[in-house]
Structure 1
Amino acid sequence: MSHTPDTAHLLQQPVQGSAGQPHPHDSARRHVTGSAPYVDDMAELPGTVHIAIGKSPIAHGRLNALHLDDVRTAEGVIDILTFADLPAETDVGPVFKGDPLLVEKEISFYGQPLFAVAARSHRLAKQAALSGRADCEAAEPVLDIAAAMRQNRFVRPPHFMQKGDAAAVLAAAEHTLSGKLYVRGQEHFYLETQVSYAIPEDDGGVTVYCSTQHPSEVQKLVAEVLGIPLALVRIIVRRLGGGFGGKETQAAPWACLAALFAVRLKRPAKLRLDRQDDMQLTGKRHDFANEYRAAFDADGKIQAADIRLAALCGYSPDLSDAIVDRAMFHSDNAYHYPNALISGYRCQTHTVSNTAFRGFGGPQGVIAAEALMEDIAQAVGHDALDVRYTNLYQEGDSTHYGQKIEHFYLPELMRELEQSSGYRTRREAVGAFNRRHRHQKRGLALTPVKFGISFTVTFLNQGGALVHIYTDGSVHLNHGGVEMGQGLFTKVAQIVAAEFALDIERIKISATDTDKVPNTSATAASSGTDLNGMAAQNACRTLKQRLLDFIGSHFDRPSENVRFWRNHVLIADNDIRTADNDALAALAADPQHCRCLAFGELATLAYQHSISLSASGFYATPEIYYHRDSASGKPFYYFAFGAACSEVEIDTLTGEYRVLRSDILHDVGRSINPAVDIGQIEGGFIQGMGWLTTEDLRWNDNGRLDSAAAATYKIPTAADVPEIFNVALYHRANPEATVYHSKAVGEPPFMLGISVWCALRDAVAACADYRVRPELNAPATPEEILHAVNRVQSGADNAV
């Protein structure tokens, strides 16, 4: 059988959207036209009720009674839920207990849910919830890290990582310094707020359409709250309007409440938080109070480091144990500490429980290392970049948690960026500018990132996928990862397309669904493509082997004589494993020596011979482990590298600033989709810059979040993008056996934004001719910069 004239021209065209090619996000056009449906866009079924939350008016104390008569009689109200109405499990803590779905007695943060009300519309539910009254007995809240540390209030015990004898080296060292840095948290500010739509099923179960990064966890918690088996709960997620970690654990309470009302009332139920409620009721990135001491030689090479990281966790553990662990893992960033003591404290406060955010604690650790590099550079009078080079890991070194440094090509990447960005020339120009200008100062910084890729809880590093081939040659793809705008679905579809040598248009991407792939991990830790891509590849290769075995028996040809190529399958008389495109094209046109079947023809033929065309795939990351008792192991499969060079200008009279230029060179291994990867790098950098410059979370003395709306909380906009913004990929295949030797790209670029903060700090130091080490807490708002300028000019900060 040979190809027909109608398909001959297709063999002259490469497949479209295969792995390694830039390809648009699968929903890009729908995103910009507004036609991509999110949960709140779904057509509501008849009888749908809408849910609102009754909130605590105090941050800490005791709930004595709820007075809800006015709520019950309010217009449109259908039902009310209080703690006493919960049928089974009442605590929705994701790992450790401590997160009551509704308050029973103890109130732990301002705005904590006391009751939920279901009404005919969202507006009526909101109005009714406001009419409820709570009889509360207030107590003095603990609202900050310092108070929690004084009282030894921790959501989980402190943890320590140690290498060598840092205390002894510090005591004997000729050169030492100490510093501290307070880094505030960050609101996720996803475009789509928390939302769930629950539909009761006739078997007592429930289907929930949910905006979550972790469908399997939502499934588990909904089942526990309802007191039913997991198999009766189905969670479906097609897309999220942003997540950034804020929907990893904290989507679950709202899904549970929606499911409770749906099953209780036997009618669909929707819970959508408006922006102010979302900001008040959900956790953020953790504040960190970092302190450090270091010993170093006259060239700035570190001999010992003692770093204390204290996180503001809120009232419950949530994911704080692992988040502070990752901050501790990354408190070295890219630098070798021969002797180190790293301490991590998980401080309990009467505030909303903080949670995962892009980088998962890593950024708060990395910034401590970069502040240390800046301080040492000023102390020894060297350029900060040279001090960074001096302290970079070398191949074969070990981290403070015992992981050996392998495949460490970050120094080459940094030197390439140093050259391409013109760092040395620009450093001289910055100095000249600062000498000429009294009230404007410029700063420049080139900072690296070494970020570990894997969940640090080892068993979470697994993924599953399901692939069907239909008889027309189209392919259905499902996997456990969640699409939240980062391009995961596109990348995994490209992997499937590459495995079968098909155009990506032939791959049907379907919603994440606990009915299709069970027991999945959260889409987090930058591992979405690593885990789900490998699982999908595994399923494809199972199917390919079945097809090859069928071809072998049906056409009497060994697998080396078969190639999947340009939407077709070539079955030749000879070995064609290494044939190039020209040779394959010639074979395809040679019916005497090669059969050329359209992929759909092969699928139909296999089906007619009772060959299964469906397969599940699975992948678990190899080689990784971490022994918490000894604080040692190999928690990361590999490291992703990157570097950014940023230049800023500040006005010393107002504290206002501009980011003049940023150059980025980032390592993504062998890119599966360069366009998507560059977009992730750009977005991660801007979000990281926003964390450290404009996004300022503020609570009042009563524990209420004052910056609970876009009017009072400033995320970066297009106007904040650097005036010159250059982003490039560092082309080097991942030495580890990841999918097509790619590397993760979701979280590592976030920390490139630290280069902007370091440049601002450099500009502040220039106000005192670098004789004073500035204390510049984050976010470095104009107010904070102005205070820092005034301190260095008065000599109030640490003199060098």
Structure 2
Amino acid sequence: MSKVATPFVRNTASLGGNIILAQKYPFPSDIATILLGAASTVRLQVYSETLEVTFEEFLEKPPLDPSTLLLSVFIPNWASDSQKESNVILETYRAAPRPLGNAVSYINSAMLGHVSLNEPSGDLVLSNLHMAFGAYGTEHAIRATKVEQHLTGKVLTPSVVLEAVQLLRETIVPMEGTSHPEYRVSVAVGFLFSYLSPFAKGIKGPGKTLNISSAGSLDTDDICNLPLSSRRETISIDEYKPVGEPIKKYAVELQASGEAVYVDDIPAPKNCLYGEFIYSTQSLAHVKNIKFKASLASEKILTFVSANDIPSGGQNIGSSLMFGDEPLFGAPVVEYAGQALGVVIAETQRYANLAGKQVVVEYDTKDLKPPILTVEQAVQNNSYFEVPPKMYPKQVGDFCKGMAEADHKILSTEVKLASQYYFYMETQTTLAIPDEDNTMVVYISSQYPEVAQSSIAKCLGIPFSSVRVITRRVGGGFGGKAFRSCNVATAAALCAFKLRRPVRMYLNRSTDMIMIGGRHPIKAFYSVGFKSDGRITALHLDILINAGISPDASPIMPDTIISGLKKYNWGALSFDIKLCKTNNTSKSVMRAPGDAQGSFIAEAIIEHVASVLSLDANSVRQKNFHTYDSLVLFYPESMDEASTYTLHSIFDRLLTTSSYLHRAESSRQFNSCSKWRKRGISCVPLVFKVAPRPAPGRVSVLNDGFIVVEVGGIEIGQGLWTKVQQMTAFALGQLWSDGCESLLDRVRVLQADTLNLIQGGLTAGSTSSESNCAATLEACNMLVDRLKPVMEKLKQQPDGVVSWDALIAQAVKDNVNLSSSTYWVPSQESSTYLNYGAGISE
């Protein structure tokens, strides 16, 4: 029940409303399925007559007349019968895109049955079964009566269960047009197995009695007593106080109260218009005509903006990146499904959405080759993007020699990784406001306002100085707001520029998923040689990366994939990586781009080697950990002193503190006892190469002693502003021997503004807080140097005690410049370095 919709919906809606919807419409109700499985009954008031019907009869009735009143729902008290030694077991199941709720189910189920013990044999027998299934592409939840009748009174032998599965497959038949019908049927079978599997083995041995509370308790009572997780961390932080201290997050009150302002919370300016993208549904085609089912003459629907409306001197550019520009609109040829064709503009968002649904696009594929959609097709057509030689990773060692030393070999094994969508809470959104003198102010949810500024300026054909991009905070990014947000911002700015009115654009979730892209899909083949003890001597990889239609940031992928894969010592490492150009939405950076895929491929190889040798995967992992010397060979540009290589100790400590061996043995025992359900445990190391980027910073102290800080980094929820706040208090507090922690509450961090603070850079790569704090520290140190003479002068006074307010008041009188700016650039030694970690999951 807790997975139905959200707490807000559950607190607002009603049980009656839910099941009436399920009765009148093809509504995929989870509640109706549970009530049907629990053999509930319903009381109805039909005019002057009161009817009591089973829930099954209730659902099968014609849609209820509006005059019919639902009086009550009765759930029987299925108490266990101690005299007959029977227990009642009710289990509910649900499969959905998001397992924790707030998503419509692919299928749901509720199963109830009496479980009794056959004394002589120790077998368990089911009776009074109610098996309900719903939301699989049916008008309403149904009972699997044939399955119930088949199982009643029988011992659950394999043949009985298999026949039940066949009967269930005949029962669960999704309606035509239902998505993933085979998957839904297979999940229904899985639910049936989950319910029946604990009863299949019976209860053997003398003196055994029936005492179960759920379908899963038979499997887990004896061997699921896992130890509690524990953690201890001791850090000495006084030296840099308040840096590193656990403090409340900056502006947490605003976020917790819902008063924090995101782009879509900014009140609409006067005469604001709303835009909706019109995008292609074809992968490669000529656009012959774009028309609307209904006329655009409605006073609420104003116009359609396309590539023809780009001003003279401007360019058809949606995002302008270092590896190449991406068009804003597909014209006259669209190159992928999801490519923008234009923007329909209306007085309200509702009318913009309605107009978008009225669009009819005529396509023509004459004289065009078939679209390239897969990496295999890209290879056949020699369709690749070039990777700059300086960005292509270097191979390590002699692969042929390493393979010659191997006792065993695995050749040309395939591993595939699909794409992922970002699923940030706030989709792409922009508010563009025309200003005086042909200038533009753009509020955008972006990790990279600087590149949005340049893209807008190039599209409109105006100087960068005429475009002011502001980002206060971002409601989730994961890389999806780095480059992919530029097209939305540029489109809104173009519409506002043409119409000389503010324009707001907010992509709905469906449009966002279609147009924005995501993580790079990858197909890889590996050949690996290894010794009998699990030590790997050589590895070769052939990797095909699906980059989509434009380079975006894809040329970084070969290096990051190999960087993530290098966490193990492969002996010799060779590879051939191709960046495939396909007629798909451009793929972009997404949380640990390349590193995540490289690490996955590495673990797949380790597991494969362990399986071939019948060894524990962890022993193979540890056998192939780097020594310091091999780490220097694989990461020559990122290595520090040997004492900084801590992966061995981290991994060993994790195994100890997590009771890995005990939990692994517990999993093995569980798997030996459970036929259908299995458990696993995995402990994975990580070597992550980070590269801090340059960052600007400005710190200003106002006359009242309050402090304003500007940095290029964007607050996405990761706490960047909090860390900058702490660094400011620490750095300015250096004027006192014991620091000045009270400065923490005087610090205000301002939103990113491309005209106030230039060269803000990209917030990504797990180093933005580090870089922006370094810039803040430099700017504060400049202020400290200016304030020290003032401090010394005040100390000469009789009491010798100097407060922050007194110091600033005197500095103002002495005409000290209380604002300092800097542009921090990492040193050669810190330009890249390695982070180590390990994680365990069960």
TM-score normalised by length of structure 2: 0.67
What are the Cα deviations for residues 41-99 of structure 1, in whole angstroms up to 9, with x where unaligned?
Answer: 11111100111111112111222333369564244122321112112121234223352
Which residue of 578, 592, 595 corresponds with 1:345? 578
What are the Cα deviations for residues 5-38 of structure 1, in whole angstroms up to 9, with x where unaligned?
Answer: xxxxxxxxx9998211111221333223221111
Q: Is the 8 Å Cα contact of residues 314 and 350 (structure 1) preserved in structure 2? A: yes
Are 1:78 and 2:302 an aligned pair? Answer: yes
Distance (Å, rounded) in 2 between the aligned partners of 1:256 and 1:40: 17
Which residue of 183, 189, 192 corresponds with 2:423? 189
Which residue of 564, 569, 578 corresponds with 1:330? 564
> Following TM superposition, by how much is the alpha carbon of 1:309 offset from its aligned partner in structure 2, in angstroms?
2.4
> Following TM superposition, by how much is the alpha carbon of 1:434 offset from its aligned partner in structure 2, in angstroms?
2.1
Which residue of 256, 260, 267 corresponds with 1:43? 267
1:162 match: secondary structure: coil
Q: Is the 8 Å Cα contact of residues 393 and 558 (structure 2) preserved in structure 1? A: no
Distance (Å, rounded) in 1 between the aligned partners of 2:355 and 2:611: 59
2:288 match: secondary structure: strand
What are the Cα deviations for residues 469-507 of structure 1, in whole angstroms up to 9, with x where unaligned?
Answer: 112221101100001111111111111111123432110
Please identify the structure whose Cα radius of gyration is greater: 2
Equivalent position amino acid for 2:608 in 1: D
Which residue of 813, 816, 821 corresponds with 1:611? 816
- Quote the residue 1:488 is aligned against: 720
- Quote the residue 1:707 is aligned against: none
Q: How does 1:513-532 map to 2 (within 5 A)?
A: 513-532=753-772
Distance (Å, rounded) in 2 between the aligned partners of 1:130 and 1:243: 28
Which residue of 291, 295, 312 corresponds with 2:546? 312
Q: Is the 8 Å Cα contact of residues 160 and 341 (structure 1) preserved in structure 2? A: no
Q: Is the 8 Å Cα contact of residues 320 and 451 (structure 2) preserved in structure 1? A: no
TM-aligned CA distance change 1:447 to 1:247, over 3 Å: same
Equivalent position amino acid for 1:464 in 2: P
Which residue of 638, 654, 676 corresponds with 1:417? 654
What are the Cα deviations for residues 704-756 of structure 1, in whole angstroms up to 9, with x where unaligned?
Answer: xxxxxxxxxxxxxxxxxxxxxxxxxxxxxxxxxxxxxxxxxxxxxxxxxxxxx
Q: How does 1:216-365 map to 2 (within 5 A)?
A: 216-332=450-566, 334-365=567-598
- The gaps in structure 1 that reach 5 residues or longer are 1-13, 456-460, 556-570, 574-590, 625-633, 648-800
- Quote the residue 1:104 is aligned against: 331
Distance (Å, rounded) in 2 between the aligned partners of 1:112 and 1:61: 11
2:786 match: secondary structure: helix
- Quote the residue 2:841 is aligned against: 646
- Quote the residue 2:226 is aligned against: none
- Quote the residue 1:66 is aligned against: 290
> Following TM superposition, by how much is the alpha carbon of 1:375 offset from its aligned partner in structure 2, in angstroms?
1.4
Distance (Å, rounded) in 2 between the aligned partners of 1:167 and 1:600: 71
Q: How does 1:433-512 map to 2 (within 5 A)?
A: 433-454=670-691, 461-500=693-732, 501-503=740-742, 504-512=744-752
> Following TM superposition, by how much is the alpha carbon of 1:534 offset from its aligned partner in structure 2, in angstroms?
0.3
Q: Is the 8 Å Cα contact of residues 414 and 523 (structure 2) preserved in structure 1? A: yes
Q: Is the 8 Å Cα contact of residues 53 and 114 (structure 1) preserved in structure 2? A: yes
Are 1:426 and 2:658 an aligned pair? Answer: no
- Quote the residue 2:316 is aligned against: 90
Q: Is the 8 Å Cα contact of residues 54 and 129 (structure 1) preserved in structure 2? A: yes
Are 1:200 and 2:426 an aligned pair? Answer: no
Q: Is the 8 Å Cα contact of residues 311 and 347 (structure 1) preserved in structure 2? A: yes
2:385 match: secondary structure: strand
Equivalent position amino acid for 2:672 in 1: R
1:161 match: secondary structure: coil
1:228 match: secondary structure: coil
Q: Is the 8 Å Cα contact of residues 463 and 531 (structure 1) preserved in structure 2? A: yes
Distance (Å, rounded) in 1 between the aligned partners of 2:517 and 2:502: 27
Distance (Å, rounded) in 1 between the aligned partners of 2:338 and 2:757: 36
Equivalent position amino acid for 2:419 in 1: G
- Quote the residue 2:386 is aligned against: 156
Q: Is the 8 Å Cα contact of residues 90 and 102 (structure 1) preserved in structure 2? A: yes
> Following TM superposition, by how much is the alpha carbon of 1:403 offset from its aligned partner in structure 2, in angstroms?
3.3
Distance (Å, rounded) in 2 between the aligned partners of 1:204 and 1:480: 26
Q: Is the 8 Å Cα contact of residues 394 and 405 (structure 1) preserved in structure 2? A: no
Q: Is the 8 Å Cα contact of residues 223 and 232 (structure 1) preserved in structure 2? A: yes
TM-aligned CA distance change 1:623 to 1:258, over 3 Å: same
Equivalent position amino acid for 2:650 in 1: L
2:483 match: secondary structure: coil
Distance (Å, rounded) in 2 between the aligned partners of 1:94 and 1:68: 34
2:618 match: secondary structure: helix
Equivalent position amino acid for 2:749 in 1: I
Tell me which of the two structures has the higher relative contact order, counting C-alpha pairs closer than 8 angstroms and 6 or more residues apart.
1
> Following TM superposition, by how much is the alpha carbon of 1:377 offset from its aligned partner in structure 2, in angstroms?
1.8
Which residue of 360, 364, 367 corresponds with 1:133? 360
What are the Cα deviations for residues 590-634 of structure 1, in whole angstroms up to 9, with x where unaligned?
Answer: x96x6222211101100100100000122112227xxxxxxxxx9
For the aligned residues, what is the CA RMSD?
A: 2.2
1:516 match: secondary structure: coil
Distance (Å, rounded) in 2 between the aligned partners of 1:371 and 1:615: 51
Q: Number of residue pairs matched?
A: 583
- Quote the residue 1:147 is aligned against: 377
TM-aligned CA distance change 1:122 to 1:17, over 3 Å: farther
Q: Is the 8 Å Cα contact of residues 471 and 601 (structure 1) preserved in structure 2? A: no
Distance (Å, rounded) in 2 between the aligned partners of 1:120 and 1:80: 13
Distance (Å, rounded) in 2 between the aligned partners of 1:433 and 1:467: 59
Q: Is the 8 Å Cα contact of residues 638 and 832 (structure 2) preserved in structure 1? A: no
Q: Is the 8 Å Cα contact of residues 160 and 343 (structure 1) preserved in structure 2? A: no
Equivalent position amino acid for 1:607 in 2: V
Which residue of 111, 124, 127 corresponds with 2:351? 124
Q: Is the 8 Å Cα contact of residues 160 and 344 (structure 1) preserved in structure 2? A: no
Distance (Å, rounded) in 1 between the aligned partners of 2:841 and 2:427: 32
Distance (Å, rounded) in 1 between the aligned partners of 2:450 and 2:442: 12
Distance (Å, rounded) in 2 between the aligned partners of 1:404 and 1:537: 24
Equivalent position amino acid for 2:723 in 1: K
- The gaps in structure 2 that reach 5 residues or longer are 1-237, 733-739
2:801 match: secondary structure: strand
1:597 match: secondary structure: coil
> Following TM superposition, by how much is the alpha carbon of 1:154 offset from its aligned partner in structure 2, in angstroms?
1.6
Are 1:395 and 2:628 an aligned pair? Answer: yes
